[in-house]
Amino acid sequence: MKKQSIDDSFFHHTSVAIAGASTSYNIGHAFVSCMLDSGFKGRVYPVNPGGGEILGLKVYPSIGDIPGTVDYVISCIPARLTPQLVRDSAAKGARIVSFFTAGYSENGRAEGRDLEEELLRVAQASGVRLLGPNCLGLYCPDIGLSFACDFPREKGNVGFIGQSGGNSIYLIRAAGQRGIRFSKAISYGNALDVDESDLFDYFAADAETEMVAAYLEGVKDGPRFVGALKRLSSVKPVVILKGGSTGAGAIAAASHTGSLAGADQAWEALLDESGAVRVHSLDEMVDMLVTFEYMPPPQGRNMVLCGSNGGFTVLTADEYVRAGFKLPPLSPQDQHDINDVVARFSNTDAGMILRNPFDVTNIGSGEGHYTIMRRLADNNVFDLLTVQVSISNSGWPHAESPFRFWPDMFLDALLKVHREVNKAVAVIIHSAISDVDCQRSLELQHKCSSAGLPVYTSISSAAKAMDRFLRYHERRQD
Amino acid sequence: MKKQSIDDSFFHHTSVAIAGASTSYNIGHAFVSCMLDSGFKGRVYPVNPGGGEILGLKVYPSIGDIPGTVDYVISCIPARLTPQLVRDSAAKGARIVSFFTAGYSENGRAEGRDLEEELLRVAQASGVRLLGPNCLGLYCPDIGLSFACDFPREKGNVGFIGQSGGNSIYLIRAAGQRGIRFSKAISYGNALDVDESDLFDYFAADAETEMVAAYLEGVKDGPRFVGALKRLSSVKPVVILKGGSTGAGAIAAASHTGSLAGADQAWEALLDESGAVRVHSLDEMVDMLVTFEYMPPPQGRNMVLCGSNGGFTVLTADEYVRAGFKLPPLSPQDQHDINDVVARFSNTDAGMILRNPFDVTNIGSGEGHYTIMRRLADNNVFDLLTVQVSISNSGWPHAESPFRFWPDMFLDALLKVHREVNKAVAVIIHSAISDVDCQRSLELQHKCSSAGLPVYTSISSAAKAMDRFLRYHERRQD
């Protein structure tokens, strides 16, 4: 039987069965609970020989006992029982079986590899496609399908594939916090059947998906992957994190998802040639998604910096210059004008830096911040306006300090400028220390990303992501 | 009159006057409030021509009106009035005047430079030493002297100097959160009189200070600084962040603290030659202080890694190998033994990595974690044991998941091993996303640092700090 190709029907299901869900807490139970919490729009069938009820849903003794058809089956049963599960699923019309179940090739033993081969034979004979094993499966917010209860419910334009379930959870949550929404995300584990190349080809054609991120540990069919990657990155930005790029990492990857990690130099060359953006951590991946999502491609690297605290202003300038940006000075006339503007809002310039980079900590008026930043954003010398706000210092010298209002005042002024002026703008909200800092930082992040601004959480990570973004576009202009 | 050298009397005061404190909120008022909140053990005299009362303290019209002597004066008055303030302070027996007041050489105008020269003449004629201008002054927890209300009250063994007030606040708060305590810290601004060389010489001799960190923007007397740095770093670890190391950063530094930043290559060469550890951000500085404080120098770079989540295990191995560490495999006998240990606590090895690096996410027993980590720590092949815990995933798939107990169970087991075995141990608590994650992360950080363990908040920053620490010691062994 011919393999079903990966198309929208791979993601849009009207019924899901979870094999191995128990009436008390286990991982299958948790999957059932997630479907309900995530607002899955189809039917949910827990399956367990013990029967009973989970969260008001009848538990069926076997897949075969479910009335009607089943589109998507999630396996949480022991590995040795899974070939029969695939047969039963096929008989019920399932298009896809996803295996939380682990204990296959990644354990390095012959019986694990044998089981995988058996699964593959059964699947190929029946036309069912397999996801994993050793994975979390599908996240498709459009239909409320999810593998964690707190993933964003709204759909978006980012496609993600992750060979590690834990890394997939982190990436979706962390990017979600920074305003990223997903078209579809797939945790695909050992990639026994459906693999990164299948998914890249799907995303290349998927109209909902405008950029793609991937956490890969290894690929089995190199030439096919090279083709799929090149096709995808010729039409959409692709961000790739390669795990197992060192000897010890590769050993871990083999034990983790049975992956052959491959030489790092070959990966470096391939990713460079394909035009994909390579990152080295999940946080760098989130930074890239935020940048591609929220930053219009700037015309060049001339930046004006504005923010809080002289010392952080100095360090921010250092980071951006090291990352290849330029901070041109204002012309004498522009400098004269900006000094006049500042003089309207402050009777002294003491304790501020009023040249590029700007430290305007001691401006205590939102109108002042607006007027200064509007003037800087209007200046065509600058391709980008980057602002940085230190959270921990805004409670100096004590929690009741008027400085605590500074970040809101300053960022509100920036948002007004951003609405009015067509200029690439970036926001760094950094240096949170306490739990109170964290909470304020998250609120301010949300305020800015809701307004369509890219937000970063450290000076160095912002400079690195923006440099990669500029490189991406500079390469396409050559 | 001969300059008073910097000795303990520079830090230990029995009376402080704050010039420019007003009865309603201003910065002088805030300094008064900080002294009270920080438990300053001496007398506090607010000074303002308007008189009145601040927080129950009488406000004196001038320094001269204060009864008895004054050791330390903090200036929050306009720059043009400060020469007279220094004369008045000298007449009252003050040893030191610190200037929050800005508006001197850093504004680039002739009158700012002239004022600084006048201050210097007055100070030299009277024997008073000047701190700043454009600084926050002294933090000396031993006597409850502080420039922020929430700095740690306990004293410690780290000396810090910072040319930026904001950076000093952040460094002290952030390091404090990670378990670092200070002997003395000095925000010294424009360094008109007391400068980095004076303070390095003091710290070299100070028995309370076992390591020193410095945020520098520039030095005026290069040869003197080279000597002071070499003397200091020959006896104690020194960590240096140089702000203004790029062209734009240097322009900012000139406007910030009137500093001539100097060529970055010269700094790189000097810091390398002196054996100081150079960092590129305040967070990297905190990481180094944590490492020097809590990690015994390992015998070598052979590391065993243990932690949560397969994907993060792969990425952690990659980071450490890139940072120059080795992750040797277990011998066949040791591997056999550890498999036996694991089998006692889990009926399957599915979903785990049971070789170096170890992923033990699916061990659900504290005794299991203890037994495994104790076995690994006892293995003399390994010079270091590093563990990583992903916070965000510990709430997977939902907030009520049993996985949420994993980090505490795992880290409690580690702390037990750490108490029993003499081995360098490092803890990475990473991937906090939500405010709840932040709070848990801070609690776990505190648990580990209270037990004397170095804690890091990201995988890459931990690997970088530990590599710098190893390099520091390797250099001294050569």
* pLDDT value at residue B260: 66
Q: Which residue in this structure is represented by tokens 């702000």?
A: B243
Among B30, B164, B283, the residue with its CB nearest the CB of A398 is: B30
Q: Any idea of the CA torsion for B312, B314, B320, B323, to the nearest 10 degrees?
A: -110
Cβ of A311 within 8 Å of Cβ of B30? The answer is no
Task: Give the strands of the sheet with B303-307, arranged side by side.
Answer: B353-354, B358-359, B303-307, B384-390, B424-430, B455-456
pLDDT tens figures, B287-328: 999 999 999 999 999 999 999 999 999 999 999 999 999 999
pLDDT tens figures, A210-261: 999 999 999 989 899 999 999 999 999 999 999 998 888 888 888 888 776 6
Domain covering A296-477, topology: Rossmann fold (3.40.50)
Element housing A378 (H / E)? helix A366-378
- Which chain B residues are Cβ-neighbours of A148 within 8 angstroms? 396-398
Query: Using an 8 Å Cβ cutoff, are B232 and B203 in contact?
Result: yes
pLDDT tens figures, B401-434: 778 889 999 999 999 999 999 999 999 999 999 9
pLDDT tens figures, B94-124: 999 999 998 888 888 888 899 999 999 999 9
ipTM of the complex: 0.95
Q: How confident is the model at residue B1 (pLDDT cuts 50, 70, 90)?
A: low
Min Cα–Cα distance to chain A from B243, Å: 6
pLDDT tens figures, B152-164: 999 999 999 999 9
CATH 3.40.50.261 in chain B, residues? 153-294, 303-477
| Residue A27 Cα distances to A34, A186, B274, angstroms | 10, 18, 56
Q: In this structure, what token pair is assigned to residue A218?
A: 């290894």
CATH 3.40.50.261 in chain A, residues? 152-294, 296-477
Average pLDDT, chain B: 93
Amino acid at B214: A
Which residue on chain A is closest to B389 by alpha carbon?
Answer: A166
CATH 3.40.50.720 in chain B, residues? 8-131
**Which residues neighbour A56 within 8 Å (Cβ) at sequence distance 6 or greater?**
none
Element housing A117 (H / E)? helix A110-126
Radius of gyration of chain B (CA): 26
Q: For testing the chain A interface, which of B36, B315, B449 should be mutated: the one with the most A CBs within 10 Å?
A: B315
Task: Tell me: pLDDT of B262 over 80.
Answer: no
Instruction: Reduce the secondary structure of chain B to three states and give it as a string.
Output: CCCCCCCHHHCCCCEEEEECCCCCCCHHHHHHHHHHHCCCCCEEEEECCCCCEECCEECECCHHHCCCCCCEEEECCCHHHHHHHHHHHHHCCCCEEEECCCCCHHHCCHHHHHHHHHHHHHHHHHCCEEECCCCCEEEEHHHCECCCCCCCCCEEEEEEEECCHHHHHHHHHHHHHCCCCEEEEEECCCCCCCCHHHHHHHHHHCCCCCEEEEEECCCCCHHHHHHHHHHHHHHCCEEEEECCCCHHHHHHHHHHHCCCCCCHHHHHHHHHHHCCEEECCHHHHHHHHHHHHHCCCCCCCEEEEEECCHHHHHHHHHHHHHCCCECCCCCHHHHHHHHHHHHHHCCCCCCCEECCCEECCCCCCHHHHHHHHHHHHHCCCCCEEEEEEECHHHHCCCCCCHHHHHHHHHHHHHHHHHHHCCCEEEEEEECCCCHHHHHHHHHHHHHHHHCCCCEECCHHHHHHHHHHHHHHHHHHHC
Write down the CATH superfamily of domain B303-477.
Succinyl-CoA synthetase domains (3.40.50.261)
Q: How confident is the model at residue B394 (pLDDT cuts 50, 70, 90)?
A: confident
The vertex-A363 CA angle with A359 and A366, nearest 5°, equals: 115
Q: What predicted TM-score, i.e. pTM, was given to this entire model? A: 0.96
Among B241, B248, B348, the residue with its CB nearest the CB of A103 is: B348
* pLDDT value at residue B256: 82
What would the mean pLDDT of B439-460 be, rounded to a whole number?
Answer: 97
Which residue on chain B is closest to A322 by alpha carbon?
Answer: B246
- Which chain A residues are Cβ-neighbours of B170 within 8 angstroms? 312, 390, 392-393, 431, 433
CATH number for A152-294: choose from 3.30.565.10, 2.60.120.1360, 3.40.1190.10, 3.40.50.261. Answer: 3.40.50.261
Write down the CATH superfamily of domain B8-131.
NAD(P)-binding Rossmann-like Domain (3.40.50.720)
pLDDT tens figures, A118-134: 999 999 999 999 999 99
Q: For testing the chain B interface, which of A256, A316, A318 should be mutated: the one with the most B CBs within 10 Å?
A: A318
CATH code for residues A1-134: 3.40.50.720
For helices A282-294 and A165-177, give the axis angle rounded to 10 degrees: 40
* pLDDT value at residue A1: 55
CATH 3.40.50.720 in chain A, residues? 1-134
- Which chain A residues are Cβ-neighbours of B281 within 8 angstroms? 315, 319, 458-460
Answer yes or no: CATH 3.40.50.261 is held by domain B153-294. Answer: yes
- Helix residue ranges, H only, A236-345: 247-257, 264-274, 282-294, 310-322, 332-345
What would the mean pLDDT of B360-384 be, rounded to a whole number?
Answer: 95
Which residue on chain A is closest to B255 by alpha carbon?
Answer: A353
Cβ of A174 within 8 Å of Cβ of B392? The answer is yes
